[in-house]
Amino acid sequence: MARPEPIYLDYNATAPIRPEAVEAVARALQIGANPSSVHAAGRKARALVEAARETVARFVGASAQSLVFTSGGTEANALAIQSAVAAGFKPLIVSAVEHEAVVETAKACGGFDPLPVDKHGVADLGWLEQRLKAVEASRPFVALMLANNETGVIQPVAEAAAMVRAANGWLHVDAVQAAGKIDIDFNALGADSLALSAHKLGGPQGVGALAWGERAVMSRVQHGGGQERGRRAGTENLSGIAGFAAAVEKSVDRSAIEAQAAWRDAAAARLAEAGASIAGEGAPRLPNTLCLAVADWPSELQVIALDLAGVMVSAGAACSSGKVKPSRVLEAMSYGAAAAGALRASGGWATTEADWIRFADVWLEARQRHAARQSAA
């Protein structure tokens, strides 16, 4: 019997590149010129960069004049945090479920106060309000992501922004995971800075963007030739930027992503019947993301079992040197021992209902085998 085609349900890690982005990258590579050159080919390259800037800025309701391209979401987050620190914003307040790109940069900048979340993974705005009152003589910096990469939980960013603005602070929003899955309006969110990444949208890896508003004081962290309006030196990644814009243009239509919600929920119901906890199900979530947790089946064993069956997903934990740590996000949500058994499945632009059904089938079969081995041990 022929083995079924592999199924990719790890879009939150990297979305497969869209054909339109591949074509845009190839066309840009053929230009073969530096956007800073003043000759005809250079002007053509510059026009491509600026058109892409307009496309990406419009996608999130930001000003193209206040958007720079970066090497990805990590650099975009770092540029915002380091700029805030350089401008004297302190203390740093970072939600307990932020991506490592934000957490590690904040640590490197002197540390931060963790903003707790409730059992659903939603930021505790009551705590934030009290903390902002306690530091009212300062200009606080708050980092609150729009949607979590592990659970898909959507945060109350606009409500937090009102509090931060009243405290004369800076609100940074990591929107990397949310882009292309829900509406993003920079002004409606009340963000002072907002990070994006192309490869979560079906664009190429190695390119992202940072948008900022009038209240943000941006620094030049990377020095050199003064590219990107003097905010981020280095020759622009022309082909990556072109692919980013092409992916953004295709992401405007979210029908394929929104269809995932019903398929995801059907799979989740089956897994819950088998004893899995569904992280964040009591809060608004991205339509494509399912995070489950079990206390008696480590994440890495789940990933291996599914991979052997041709289903690619992610552990809800950070792996290094062969060691798996419990999911920091689920620990913040008070999952206890089950945080070490977190698994994330995430669909995207090419995912079908059959993919979600097969994921559930394979997980349930693997769960039974694991339980049988445990009983026999």
* pLDDT tens, N- to C-terminus, the chain (377 residues): 567 799 999 999 999 999 999 999 999 999 999 999 999 999 999 999 999 999 999 999 999 999 999 999 999 999 999 999 999 999 999 999 999 999 999 999 999 999 999 999 999 999 999 999 999 879 999 999 999 999 999 999 999 999 999 999 999 999 999 999 999 999 999 999 999 999 999 999 999 999 999 999 998 878 877 787 778 878 899 999 999 999 999 999 999 999 999 999 999 999 999 999 999 999 999 999 999 999 999 999 999 999 999 999 999 755 544 456 789 999 999 999 999 999 999 999 999 999 999 999 999 999 999 988 888 86
Domains of the chain by residue range: 7-16+255-376, 19-251
> In the prediction, which pLDDT does 169 show?
97
Q: Which among 2, 1, 3 is positioned nearest to 362, based on CA atoms?
A: 3
* Residue-by-residue DSSP string for 247-312: HHHHHT--HHHHTHHHHHHHHHHHHHHTT-EETTTTS-B-TTEEEEE-TTS-HHHHHHHHHHTTEE
Distance CA 73, CA 94 (A): 17
Pick the CATH number of 19-251 from 3.30.565.10, 3.40.50.280, 3.40.640.10, 3.40.50.300: 3.40.640.10
Mark whether 291 is an active-site residue: no
List all residues 6 or more positions away from 235 whose beta carbon is below 8 Å from its beta carbon. Answer: 34, 35, 36, 225, 227
Distance CA 264, CA 355 (A): 10
> In the prediction, which pLDDT does 11 show?
97
Distance CA 198, CA 72 (A): 7
> In the prediction, which pLDDT does 1 show?
54
Q: Does 7-16+255-376 match 19-251 in CATH topology?
A: no
> In the prediction, which pLDDT does 324 show?
65
> Can you read off the two tokens belonging to residue 110?
């002197």
CA dihedral 345→181→94→173, nearest 10 degrees, is 160
Q: Which of 319, 337, 354, 372 is catalytic?
A: 319
Distance CA 27, CA 17 (A): 15
Task: Please calculate the CA angle 115-158-163 and round it to the nearest 5 degrees.
Answer: 60
E strand or H helix at 98, and its extent? none
Phi, psi of 115 (to 5 degrees): -85, 115
pTM score: 0.95
Class of the domain covering 7-16+255-376: alpha beta
